[in-house]
Structures are given as structure tokens and as C-alpha cells.
Amino acid sequence: MLHHLENRLKVHNDAINFCQNILCRKPVEWKSIVLNNLSQPIHDVDLVVTVGGDGTLLQASHFIDDSVPVLGVNSDPTRAEEVEKLSNEIDATRSTGYLCAVTVNNFEQVLDNILEGRTIPSKLTRISICVNSQVLSTYALNDVLIAHPCPAAVSQFSFKIKSDDQPCSPLVNSRSSGLRVSTAAGSTAAMLSAGGFLMPILSEDLQFMVREPISPGETPSLMHGLIKSHQSMDATWFCKEGAIYIDGSHVFYSIQNGDTIEISSRAPILKVFLSQRLQTTVKKLEEEYLQKKEILCKY
């Protein structure tokens, strides 16, 4: 196990060095920043390159506004033959790299296309969160989880969907394991694993799901649905403790009994260069999504 982890670190560091060597050969000014040392918003640059996996890009996105495009490099993609070989010892599966457009194999080619204006970034929706009418400074690119900080505890809250500040769904009271809201980009992650569905990555809608609801009663169909681009979700928290987790566990905000939370897609978009594979699946997903949208959107 230790040898495997050391090898993964070496592969990652080799990828960083490779990308830096490529950049040194290009007519551009650049500098390298360790993600953990990033504490201020990124301004006055033309491109951000992240080297790691989806998690690296997600963390970096919290410091990037809608003016700076991002190119993700998957430094250590999963290799099927390695997963099979080590299946009796460890899980060798790594980051899916869903948001990462390139690996070291095609980094230079895609970078040249970007520098020469032959490819443009896609505009991905992010989630805006207000707590007690105060907008949180971090926008979610993948998803938001509202839950008790102890995973064994029950989360108690209510929510409703609004349009133009008017309720357009019944008030739902929930005792559960929490509430997850994802973007289209995040619909491939925890939302999909929990039984949600894939959304076209350029969709401006959000998908929500109550986690493990206790006795949903007359509102089971309202435990999973969509917050359309012109709508918002208003939630009220009814536990002594709670937390809003943004894109995983690294960034969270504490909440308490009586706090109100507004969730919507009214956040600055993030410009991301996507892989060709992702771009070609958009049309197929759009057709499937429209059918699901008809079923889920009753308001």
C-alpha cells in the first residue's frame, strides 16, 4: 500500500514538472502556486491550469471569478489494467477527471489550441448560497450538502421552491440525513451515486435530493427534483448544529437552529475547457434530460 501511494505521488509530481516544462517553451508569462497556499482570489491572468484531478479544479474554482478560464490536467488518470491487477489488495481507482480536459499526453496540443484561439471554454453554472440574507463568498461548482456535522445525527429542516419570490411548491418538512443540491457538472458525482440522474453539463438548472428521508409521508415525490434557472430554494434549519458543505468537506459554513438558507444558480459562471468527449455527449443528454424534467418539474 505504501509503495502504491509513493508511486502515485511520483506520477503526480512528474506531471507537474512536465506541464511546467511545456509552459517554459511557450511565449507566455506564468507562475506556479501550490493549492494549499492559495488564499486570495485570482485576478489579472488569462488562464488558470490545474494539475491534479477534479478535486484540484474544484478547490481552485473557489478563488476564480467568471472572467478567468480554467484548464484541468488529470495528472494520474485511472488505468484499468492497474485496477484489475491490484483488486485483491487495494482500490486503485483514482479521480475520474470528469472536469479535466487533458492529461500529460495531450496537454501541449490543447494548450496551443487555447493560446491560438482555436478553442473556447464552456460556461458552467455554479450555486449561490445565502444564509440569513447574507451571500456566502464561496460558490459551488459541484454540489452543496446541508447536514448535521455528525453523520449519525438526524437533520431536520424544511424547504420550498420559489419563483419571483413567490412559493411555487408545497412546504416540505424533512427529517433525514441532509439535503444535497448539485449543478449539472456535479450531477455525475455524489448525486448520481445517490440515485439522481445525469444532466447536460451546460444546463443552468440545479438538482436536489433529500438524503435518506424518514417517513416522507405524503410528499415522497418532493424529495427529489429540480430548481430551474429562474427559481430558488428557501430552506430553514431546525437543529442546534448544522453545516453547509461546498464541493466536499474542505469548505464549510456552520449554521444553527432557525437559520434560513437560499439556494439558486444566480452565481457567476465558471469558464472551463472541457474534453471533446464531454462536448459530444451534450446533445444526447439534453434529449434524455428534457424527458426527466417533464416528470420531475410539477411546479
- Domain regions of the chain by residue span: 1-124+271-279, 128-267
Q: In this structure, how many other beta carbons lie within 10 angstroms of the beta carbon of residue 240?
A: 9
Q: In this structure, how many other beta carbons lie within 10 angstroms of the beta carbon of residue 212?
A: 13
- 124 and 202 in contact (C-beta within 8 Å)? yes
The arrangement of secondary structure in 1-124+271-279, i.e. its CATH architecture, is 3-Layer(aba) Sandwich (3.40)
Residue among 93, 57, 58 at smallest CA distance from 76 = 93
pLDDT at 46: 97
What does the alpha-carbon distance between residue 94 and residue 77 come to, in Å, rounded to a whole number?
6
Q: pLDDT for 73-124, tens place per residue?
A: 999 886 556 545 555 665 556 566 789 999 999 999 999 999 999 999 999 9
What does the alpha-carbon distance between residue 154 and residue 237 come to, in Å, rounded to a whole number?
12
C-alpha cell at 286: 439534453
Q: pLDDT for 41-67, tens place per residue?
A: 999 999 999 999 999 999 999 999 999
pLDDT at 168: 87
Side-chain-side CA neighbours of residue 12 (13 Å)? 14
Q: What is the mean pLDDT of the chain?
A: 90
pLDDT at 7: 78
| Domain 128-267 bears CATH identifier 2.60.200.30 | yes
> What angle, 0 to 180 degrees and rounded to 10, lies between the N-to-C axes of helices 2-24 and 107-115?
30
C-alpha cell at 124: 458552467
Q: pLDDT for 244-287, tens place per residue?
A: 999 999 999 999 999 999 999 999 999 999 998 776 666 667 76
The fraction of the chain above a pLDDT of 90, given in percent, is 75
On the question of pLDDT at 2 being above 60, the answer is no
> Model-level pTM greater than 0.75?
yes
pLDDT at 76: 87
- 113 and 119 in contact (C-beta within 8 Å)? yes
- 253 and 166 in contact (C-beta within 8 Å)? no
Do the two domains 1-124+271-279 and 128-267 of this chain adopt the same fold?
Answer: no
On the question of pLDDT at 68 being above 90, the answer is yes
pLDDT at 216: 72
| CA dist 106 → 33, 56, 251, 270 (Å) | 22, 19, 32, 23
